[in-house]
Amino acid sequence: MTFRRKIEHLLLSEVALPGQYIGGELGSVVKPKDSVRGRFCFAFPDVYTIGMSNYGLQLLYSLMNHRCDWACERVFTPYPDMEQALRKHDLPLYSLETFSPLTEFDVLGFSLQYEMSYTNVLTMLDLGGVPLHVSERSMRDPLVIAGGPSAVNPEPMSDFIDLFIIGDGEESLPAVCDFWLEMKQTFTKQDSATYFDRRSALLETARRFPFVVVPQFYSVRYDSHGRALKPKPNESGVPEVVRPAVVREIEAFEPPILRIVPLVECVQDRVAIEIMRGCPGRCKFCVSTVQKRPIRVRSPESIVRIALESCLATGSDEVSLLSLSTSDYPKFEELIEQLRKVLTPLHVSISVPSLRVNHQLSDVMQQLTTERTSGLTLAPEAALDEMRRRIGKPITNENLLNGCETAFSNGFNRVKMYFLCGLPEETNNDIDGIIDLSLEIGRLGKRIRGRTPIITANVSNFVPKPHSFWERLGMQSQGYFLNAHARLVNRIRRTGISLKYHTLETSLLEALICRSDRRFGRVIERAWRLGARLDAWTDYFRGDCWEQAIAEEKINIHQIIHETIPDNSELPWEHIRF
C-alpha cells in the first residue's frame, strides 16, 4: 500500500476536517520528484485554515514553483487528533502536494509569524522525522530555515533552526536554496555526510549572505546580572552585524493570479494584493514600520490587472488591499476608482483592512462603499490625543470622529477599533478614554443612522518588541493589567459596547519569548515535551506546561519581561540591525 493510501485509509476516518490534509486544491502545483533539481517545503507552524490565509505563503509558493528546477510544497501544523493518528500508526508528517515525508526535502522553511507558534515548529520537525536539534543533523537531513516577523530575534529558536533569513524573502529565499544545493554537492560524500560536513556547509552559507544568521557561529556572553549580551561571531568571515534583505521593486514580484483555493473554509478567503510595502508612520510601539523600510509601491494599473485576472481565475468575490497603512497609498482615490470600474460588474467587493486614522480619513471613507461588508476597522491605538502624541501616532479624535461620521453616512454600521493597554506613562484617564471614545462613536452613529451601530473595542496588552523604539522598556506588571482589564469591564457594563481583550497569560508569555535569549530554547522544548501545542489557540493553550518548564529551567521572568534594559547594556538581538 502506498504512503498516500495509508493516509487516506488509516487516518482520514479518524480526524476532523480531513480536507485540510489531502491537498489537490485548485492552484496547487505538483511536480514529479525526479523532474527538479531541488525540493523546498514551505512549513507554516499553525493549522491549515490559518496558514492558507497568509499572503507570504501564496507569494513564495508561486515564486519558487515558477522555477523549473525547484518544486515548492506545503505542510501545516496538524490538529492534535491528526498528530495522535500519525503517531499511533507510526507515519510521518508529509507535504500536501506529493505526500512526501519532510525528510525527503532539501530545504524545510518555517514562517515565524508569531512567537506563540514556536512549539508547533517542534511538533512538525518531530512528526516529520527531522532531528529536533541543529547539533543532531547531518547533510542527509533537510536544511531547516526560518524567516518572518519573529525571526528578528532568532535566539530563542536557535537550538532548532539551522539558519534565519532576515528581511524580504523574494530574492533571499531562492538564493539560499540554490547555494545549499551547491553545498550539498561539495560536502556530501558517498561514505560520509556527518554533522561536521553540515557545519562546514553552514559556515560557507553564513559567510556568503549578509542577511543570514546561523546561530551556532555566534557565541553568547552574559553580564554580571545574568543578562545575555550581543552575540559575537566565533568564526572568521561571519558578519558581526546582519542586515535585512530588501526587495527594491515589489512590482517585480507579483502575487499569483491563480492562488491556491482552499478546500475548507479558512480565516480569510479572498484575493489579497500587497499594494505597498513599508509605512510612513513612526509609531514607537510598532516593529513593523522598522522591519519593512523603505516604502515601496505597486502601480494602480498593476493592482487592477492582478485583481481582475485573479478574480476571473479563482471565482473569488472579494479583493483585499494589503499594506501596513493602505490609505497612505499615494494614488488611493485613483486606485479605488479603477478597481470599482472593473470589479463592480463582477459583483466583487473591495476590502481595506488597514486604514490610518488621520485628517484624510473622512475623504477616504467617501471612496469606500459597504457593498457586502458594512464594517469599518480602525487602529487608533490610544483613546486620548496626548497619549497618541507620546507614542508617535499624530492623529486626533477629531480625525477619527469625522471619518466615522462619513462612514455612517455612507452606510457603514459597524466599527471595530484596536487599542493598546499598558503603554508608558498610561493613566486611568487613558483606560477610561477607550470606553468614552467608543460611546461617543456609538452616539454619533445613532444620530446619523437612527439606530446604534455595533461598536467593538479590541484591547491588546502592550509588549515592547525587539527592534522597536521601546525595545528596552519593561512590560507593565501582571497586577497592572489585571486592574486595567477590571476597570474596562466595569465601565463597559450596560453600554452596548463589545469589549475584547487579549488573555494576559498569553501576552506575558509572548513577551517572555520575544525578549529572551538562547537559554529559552530549553524552556520551549520542555514545554513542548510536557504537552504544549497550538499555544495561540485558547482551546489548546496549556499554561501549566509553560509554568512548569519555566520553573524547571529557573528563568528570571521579572528580569526578562518587566525590567527596563539600561541604555549602556547590550541586547541579545543586537547583532541584527535594520
Written as one string, the DSSP assignment of 234-292 is -STTS-SSB--B--S-GGGSPPPSS--B-SS--S--SEEEE-EES-S---TT-SHHHHT
User: Is 269 among the domain residues?
Assistant: yes
Would you tell me how many other CB atoms lie within 10 Å of the CB of residue 10? 15
Whether residues 100 and 216 fall in one domain: yes
Whether residues 157 and 179 fall in one domain: yes
Whether residues 394 and 493 fall in one domain: yes
Q: Is 130 in contact with 149 (CB distance < 8 Å)?
A: no
Average pLDDT over residues 472-476: 97
Provide CB contacts within 8 A for 451, sequence distance 6+: none
Of 285-294, 523-532, 565-574, which range is least confident? 285-294
**pLDDT range class, residue 352, cuts 50, 70, 90:** confident
Residue 415 β-bridge partners: 376, 455
**More confident call, 208 vs 185:** 208
Average pLDDT over residues 484-490: 95
Q: Tell me which of 481, 502, 523 is where a domain ends.
A: 502
Per DSSP, the three-state class of 396 is coil
**pLDDT digits 0-9 by tens, 125-178:** 999 999 999 999 999 999 999 999 999 999 999 999 999 999 999 999 999 999
Lay out the sheet containing 498-501: strands in order across: 375-381, 414-421, 454-461, 498-501
* Boundaries of domain holding 426: 368-502
Identify whether 330 is preceded by a cis peptide bond (ω within 30 of 0): no
Q: Which amino acid is it at 26? A: L
Provide CB contacts within 8 A for 523, sequence distance 6+: 516, 546, 549, 550, 553, 555
Whether residues 271 and 339 fall in one domain: yes
User: Is 24 among the domain residues?
Assistant: yes
Can you read off the three cell numbers belonging to residue 336? 479605488
Whether residues 102 and 229 fall in one domain: yes
User: Is 541 among the domain residues?
Assistant: no
Q: Tell me which of 322, 354, 386 is where a domain ends.
A: 354
**pLDDT digits 0-9 by tens, 503-557:** 999 999 999 999 999 999 999 999 999 999 999 999 999 999 999 999 999 999 9
d(CA 91, CA 204): 35
**pLDDT digits 0-9 by tens, 65-74:** 999 999 999 9
Whether residues 189 and 304 fall in one domain: no
Residue that is written with C-alpha cell 540554490 in the block: 178
The count of domains in the chain is 3
User: Is 88 among the domain residues?
Assistant: yes
Percent of the chain with pLDDT over 90: 79
**pLDDT range class, residue 377, cuts 50, 70, 90:** confident
Give the distance from CA 365 to its chain's centroid. Answer: 28
What is the DSSP code (8-state) at residue 13? Answer: T
**pLDDT range class, residue 90, cuts 50, 70, 90:** very high
Q: Rounded to the nearest 10 degrees, what angle do helices 118-128 and 521-530 cross at?
A: 70
User: Is 13 among the domain residues?
Assistant: yes
Would you tell me how many other CB atoms lie within 10 Å of the CB of residue 529? 14
**pLDDT range class, residue 379, cuts 50, 70, 90:** confident
Give the CATH number, domain containing residue 156.
3.40.50.280
Whether residues 345 and 377 fall in one domain: no
Whether residues 211 and 112 fall in one domain: yes
512, 513, 516, 519 alpha-carbon torsion, rounded to 10°: 120
pLDDT at 374 (0 to 100): 62
Q: Is 160 in contact with 142 (CB distance < 8 Å)?
A: no
Mean pLDDT rounded to a whole number for the chain? 92
The string of DSSP codes covering 132-184 is SSGGG--TTSPEEEEESGGGGS-GGGTTT-SEEE-B--TTHHHHHHHHHHHHH
pLDDT at 362 (0 to 100): 54
Residue that is written with C-alpha cell 491556491 in the block: 260
Q: Is 390 in contact with 428 (CB distance < 8 Å)?
A: no
Asked if pLDDT for residue 351 goes beyond 90, the answer is no
**pLDDT digits 0-9 by tens, 1-48:** 688 888 888 777 889 999 999 999 999 999 999 999 999 999 999 999
Provide CB contacts within 8 A for 52, sequence distance 6+: 76, 260, 262, 266
Whether residues 88 and 228 fall in one domain: yes
Would you tell me how many other CB atoms lie within 10 Å of the CB of residue 568? 5
Q: Give the residue from 149, 157, 164 showing the smallest Cα distance to 55.
A: 149
Cα 423–Cα 426–Cα 429 angle in degrees, nearest 5: 135
Torsion 185-189-195-196 (CA) sign: negative
**More confident call, 86 vs 372:** 86
Give the CATH number, domain containing residue 270.
3.30.750.210
Whether residues 271 and 415 fall in one domain: no
d(CA 7, CA 2): 9
The string of DSSP codes covering 525-578 is HHHHHHT---TTSTTT--HHHHHHHHHHTT--HIIIIISPPPTTS--TTTTB--
Q: Which residues of 446-463 are buried (b: 16+ CB within 10 A; e: fewer)?
A: eebeeeebebbbbbbbbb
Q: Give the residue from 337, 333, 339 showing the smallest Cα distance to 273.
A: 339
Whether residues 43 and 183 fall in one domain: yes
Percent of the chain with pLDDT over 70: 95
Can you read off the three cell numbers belonging to residue 325? 497603512
Q: Tell me which of 502, 522, 554 is where a domain ends.
A: 502
d(CA 410, CA 449): 10
Reported for 130-134, long-range contacts at CB under 8 A and 24+ positions apart, including other chains, are 130/102, 130/103, 132/160, 132/525, 133/159, 133/160, 134/158, 134/159, 134/160, 134/161, 134/162, 134/215, 134/216
**pLDDT digits 0-9 by tens, 489-517:** 999 988 889 999 999 999 999 999 999 99
Q: First CA to last CA across the chain, in angstroms?
A: 52
Whether residues 218 and 277 fall in one domain: no
User: Is 423 among the domain residues?
Assistant: yes
Give the CATH number, domain containing residue 498.
3.20.20.70
User: Is 561 among the domain residues?
Assistant: no
**pLDDT digits 0-9 by tens, 181-197:** 999 998 876 555 677 89
d(CA 318, CA 304): 13
User: Is 444 among the domain residues?
Assistant: yes
